[in-house]
């Protein structure tokens, strides 16, 4: 049996080398990880990338991050957006919503798949 790991993170990408996992969708969840994931993908065609700012890493958000995200995605048609979303158990829900909306706009504009994170906020995520 061949298994695709549809949700892993850059820190756990070595798990794809487990016996039955032959492809992985890996999320780089803050901007400092984006270039690392680009380099992993360049060297391993079994890894597909999703790039974004996870709601747990709001502290890492820098101005115009969404413009840099769009620029990055334009470099490769297979790049996705993620892991992005909302988490009601983490602080600053208003800022989470703002960051989530900006990333979702990029994904919609470029017709990219999205890896979603949602904890206790399905009503808000669905409305957005």
Q: Which is nearer to Zn ion, 31 or 83 (CB)?
A: 83
The answer to whether 83 contacts Zn ion (rule: CB under 5 A) is yes
The answer to whether 70 contacts Zn ion (rule: CB under 5 A) is no
Helix 65-74 × helix 31-43 angle, to 10°: 10
In whole angstroms, the minimum distance from the beta carbon of 53 to Zn ion comes to: 13
User: Is residue 73 within 8 Å of 45, Cβ to Cβ?
Assistant: no
Rounded to whole angstroms, how far apart are CA atoms 34 and 67?
Answer: 14
In whole angstroms, the minimum distance from the beta carbon of 119 to Zn ion comes to: 11
Binding site for Zn ion (CB under 5 A): 83
């Amino acid at each position: 049996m061949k298994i695709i790991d549809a949700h892993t993170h850059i820190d756990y990408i070595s798990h794809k080398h487990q016996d039955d996992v032959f492809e992985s969708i890996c999320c780089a969840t803050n901007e400092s990880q984006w270039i690392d994931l680009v380099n992993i993908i360049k060297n391993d065609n079994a890894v597909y990338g999703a790039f974004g700012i996870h709601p747990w890493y709001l502290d890492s958000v820098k101005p115009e991050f969404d413009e840099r995200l769009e620029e990055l995605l334009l470099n490769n048609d297979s790049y996705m957006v993620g892991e992005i979303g909302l988490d009601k158990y983490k602080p600053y829900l208003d800022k989470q919503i703002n960051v989530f909306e900006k990333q979702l706009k990029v994904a919609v504009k470029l017709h990219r798949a999205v890896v979603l994170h949602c904890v206790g906020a399905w009503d808000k995520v669905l409305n957005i």
